[in-house]
């Protein structure tokens, strides 16, 4: 039986262009999706845009256009930019699409029918940037400013429908405690648990004053609060509640909802409560990664301190989309905050060339020169040979474990470390000296074989992060990836007698014109 894997990113607000932050989550999701596809898992990777709510209505008004015109334009910009960056999403959901509206309507209908939605009246502080109500005590502690954007909170009062969140809180809390994989990393789980233990009120889920949203199924004078609308994307895209819900039946529950810590609460409290109320299974993992920061502050559209599309384009233009993906994934242990650095980007790229590119070149040059490009058999070995052979053999298992544990940084560094070990091995065994001594022919065979196997494994291991470069490197080794699975590629060494190709520089030197 094939495993299945469903991974999602947050659906981004199309009130401003994509940037490094939204790219990062999407690139991580892309890497995990590529890994699972390569593994042979039935994989579904969803991203999209979150198009309703005050924020969109306000931005459109500021620009003198309709909300629809705004979201059409910016949503396309997300979709196009992901294509340009080689993001391999299987679907792109927009919350203004009929399929999504139908699912939200169905969700509200069900919650009304089960008695989990009731009419009340609501007065509160509201964080417009985050589309979030803020309690009096939290508002006071934040000096009546948004904790995230630092903009002033606004006062809000109206007749509102409520979702009985408090009824589900004990169940959510128990679930989080009993399922350590549900909220990750652990520091985020602890945060949610301690906030939940302080008690939670019911959730206002409708707005009568706002028109830019999906009408409540039971009362079209109200529109659905944006988080109920937005979270439903994870099932609406799979056809939940529609005639053809085959994808929903195949892929739900999600394996990983990837988010950053800014939207942890919604995904680990509101969403599981909604799913409990709908009698649906919960996603296996909600993983909240860290922030890209600039001078210690979260990079964000509202703060104006972002690495924007133009800058990302500049780097892709110079180094390619693979190098960008590799840099962001390697930049910090997954979960921690990250800092963009031009210098570090370039250093990472140069390292790929010096370690992986260089190893590939050495292997191809030597094997072509000494053995006409035909992979020789492994002969008798000494300790150095055994060490490299062991490292190569252990590589696949380590890589699978890193992916299974979502240790993304490890996924990037393990292949590079294997290549580094193989370079050191070549330095130590000095094949050019062995080639001069006919009595050392068998030993030279061993060195050539083992270093070829190491670069082969390293390149296969890099496929999810460097899909273009790693496939090109493998092609030079005479291996076409095609539809082969990771198992087929990693579990078998290259056979003796395999014909290698010709070396070409994989990570060319980049001259930067200032």
Q: Cα angle vertex 412, ends 410, 418, to 5°?
A: 85
In angstroms, give the least distance from the CB of 187 to ligand MSP.
16
In angstroms, give the least distance from the CB of 231 to ligand MSP.
5
In angstroms, give the least distance from the CB of 300 to ligand MSP.
5
For ligand MSP, the closer of residues 26 and 423 by Cβ is: 26
In angstroms, give the least distance from the CB of 292 to ligand MSP.
4
CA distance 116 to 230: 19
Applying CB under 6 A, the span of 296-304, 391-399, 440-448, 479-487 interacting with ligand MSP comes to 296-304
CA neighbor of 262 nearest in space, from 48, 6, 21:
21
Instruction: Name which position in 30, 41, 50, 385 contacts ligand MSP (CB under 6 A).
Output: 50
Concatenated DSSP letters of 124-185: EEEETTTTEEE-HHHHHHTTTB-TTT-PBPEEEEEEEEEE-HHHHHHHHHHHHHH-TTTEES
**Binding pattern for the stretch 9-48 against ligand MSP, x by CB under 6 A and - elsewhere:** -xxxx-------xx-xx-----------------------
Applying CB under 6 A, the span of 5-13, 120-128, 201-209, 409-417 interacting with ligand MSP comes to 5-13
For ligand MSP, the closer of residues 9 and 361 by Cβ is: 9
For ligand MSP, the closer of residues 72 and 262 by Cβ is: 262
For ligand MSP, the closer of residues 22 and 452 by Cβ is: 22
For ligand MSP, the closer of residues 291 and 395 by Cβ is: 291
Concatenated DSSP letters of 410-469: HHHHHHHHHHHHHHHHHHHH-HHHHTT-GGGHHHHHHHHHHHHHHHHHHHHHHTTTSHHH
Instruction: Name which position in 90, 158, 245, 262 contacts ligand MSP (CB under 6 A).
Output: 262
CA neighbor of 453 nearest in space, from 368, 360, 384:
360
In angstroms, give the least distance from the CB of 369 to ligand MSP.
47
CA distance 462 to 412: 7
- Total residues at interface with ligand MSP (CB under 6 A): 21
In angstroms, give the least distance from the CB of 331 to ligand MSP.
11
For ligand MSP, the closer of residues 104 and 375 by Cβ is: 104
User: For the chain, what percentages of helix, strand and coil (3-state, to nearest 5) are there?
Assistant: 50, 15, 30
Burial string for 252-287 (b: 16+ CB within 10 Å, else e) reads bebbbbbbbbbbbbbbbbbbbbbbbbbebebbebbb
**Binding pattern for the stretch 302-321 against ligand MSP, x by CB under 6 A and - elsewhere:** --------------------
Instruction: Name which position in 259, 364, 419, 479 contacts ligand MSP (CB under 6 A).
Output: 259
In angstroms, give the least distance from the CB of 303 to ligand MSP.
9
For ligand MSP, the closer of residues 228 and 323 by Cβ is: 228
Applying the rule CB under 6 A, the residues between 61 and 90 that interact with ligand MSP are none
Q: Within 13 A of 465's CA, how many CA atoms are on the CB side?
A: 26
Q: Cα angle vertex 97, ends 94, 100, to 5°?
A: 85
Dihedral, CA of residue 9, residue 12, residue 147 and residue 331, to nearest 10: 50
The residue number with the shortest CB distance to ligand MSP is 21
In angstroms, give the least distance from the CB of 80 to ligand MSP.
17
In angstroms, give the least distance from the CB of 235 to ligand MSP.
11
**Cα separations in angstroms, 247 against 79, 196, 254, 420:** 22, 33, 11, 43
**Binding pattern for the stretch 266-295 against ligand MSP, x by CB under 6 A and - elsewhere:** -------------------------xx---
H or E segment at 281?
none
Residues pairing with 93 in the sheet? 48
CA neighbor of 111 nearest in space, from 157, 159, 54, 168:
168
Can residue 260 be called a binding residue for ligand MSP (CB under 6 A)? yes
Inter-axis angle of helices 20-39 and 321-330, to 10 degrees? 100
CA distance 75 to 334: 27
Applying the rule CB under 6 A, the residues between 198 and 257 that interact with ligand MSP are 230-231, 233
Which SS3 state, helix, strand or coil, does residue 287 take?
A: strand
CA neighbor of 26 nearest in space, from 249, 269, 292:
292
Q: Token digits for 268?
A: 């680990």
Instruction: Name which position in 67, 239, 283, 300 contacts ligand MSP (CB under 6 A).
Output: 300
Applying the rule CB under 6 A, the residues between 146 and 165 that interact with ligand MSP are none
Chain contacts with ligand MSP (rule: CB under 6 A): 10-13, 21-22, 24-25, 50, 230-231, 233, 259-260, 262-263, 291-292, 298-300
């Amino acid at each position: 039986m094939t495993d299945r894997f469903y991974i999602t990113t947050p659906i981004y607000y199309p009130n401003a262009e994509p940037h490094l932050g939204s790219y990062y989550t999407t690139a991580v999701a892309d890497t995990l999706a590529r890994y699972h596809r390569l593994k042979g898992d039935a994989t579904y990777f969803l991203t999209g845009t979150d198009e309703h709510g005050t924020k969109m209505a306000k931005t459109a008004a500021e620009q003198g256009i309709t909300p629809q015109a705004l979201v059409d334009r910016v949503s396309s910009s997300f979709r196009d930019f992901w294509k340009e960056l080689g993001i391999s999403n299987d679907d792109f959901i927009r919350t203004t699409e009929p399929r999504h509206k139908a699912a939200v309507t169905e969700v509200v209908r069900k919650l009304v029918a089960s008695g989990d939605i009731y009419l009340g009246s609501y007065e509160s502080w509201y964080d417009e940037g985050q589309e979030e109500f803020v309690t009096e005590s939290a508002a006071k502690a934040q000096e009546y400013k948004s904790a995230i954007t630092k903009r002033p909170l606004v006062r809000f009062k109206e007749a509102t429908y409520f979702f009985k969140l408090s009824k589900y809180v004990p169940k959510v809390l128990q679930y989080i405690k009993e399922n350590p994989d549900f909220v990750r990393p652990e520091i985020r789980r602890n945060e949610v648990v301690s906030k939940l233990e302080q008690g939670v009120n019911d959730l206002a889920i409708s707005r009568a004053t706002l028109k830019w949203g999906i009408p409540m199924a039971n009362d079209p004078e109200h529109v659905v609060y944006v988080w109920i609308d937005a979270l439903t994307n994870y099932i609406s895209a799979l056809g939940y509640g529609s005639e053809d819900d085959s994808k929903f039946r195949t892929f739900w529950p999600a394996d990983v909802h990837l988010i950053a810590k800014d939207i942890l609460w919604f995904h680990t409290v509101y969403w599981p409560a909604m799913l409990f109320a709908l009698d649906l299974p919960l996603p296996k993992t909600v993983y909240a990664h860290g922030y890209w920061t600039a001078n210690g502050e979260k990079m964000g559209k509202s703060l104006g301190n972002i690495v924007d599309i133009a800058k990302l384009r500049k780097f892709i233009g110079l180094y390619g989309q693979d190098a960008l993906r590799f840099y962001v994934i390697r930049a910090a242990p997954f979960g921690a905050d990250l800092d963009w650095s031009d210098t570090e980007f370039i250093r990472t790229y140069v390292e790929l060339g010096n370690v992986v590119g260089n190893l590939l070149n050495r292997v191809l040059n030597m094997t072509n020169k000494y053995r006409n490009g035909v992979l020789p058999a492994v002969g008798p070995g000494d300790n150095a040979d055994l060490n490299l052979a062991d490292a190569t053999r252990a590589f696949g298992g380590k890589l699978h474990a890193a992916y299974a544990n979502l240790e993304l940084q490890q996924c990037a560094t393990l292949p590079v470390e294997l290549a580094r070990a193989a370079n050191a091995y070549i330095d130590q065994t000095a094949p050019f000296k062995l080639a001069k001594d006919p009595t050392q022919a068998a030993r030279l065979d061993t060195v050539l074989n083992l270093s070829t196997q190491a670069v082969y494994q390293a390149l296969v291991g890099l496929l999810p992060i460097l899909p273009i470069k790693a496939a090109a490197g493998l092609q030079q080794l005479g291996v076409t990836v095609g539809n082969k699975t990771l198992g087929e590629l990693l579990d078998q060494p290259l056979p003796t007698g395999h014909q290698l190709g010709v070396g070409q520089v994989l990570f060319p030197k980049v001259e930067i014109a200032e």
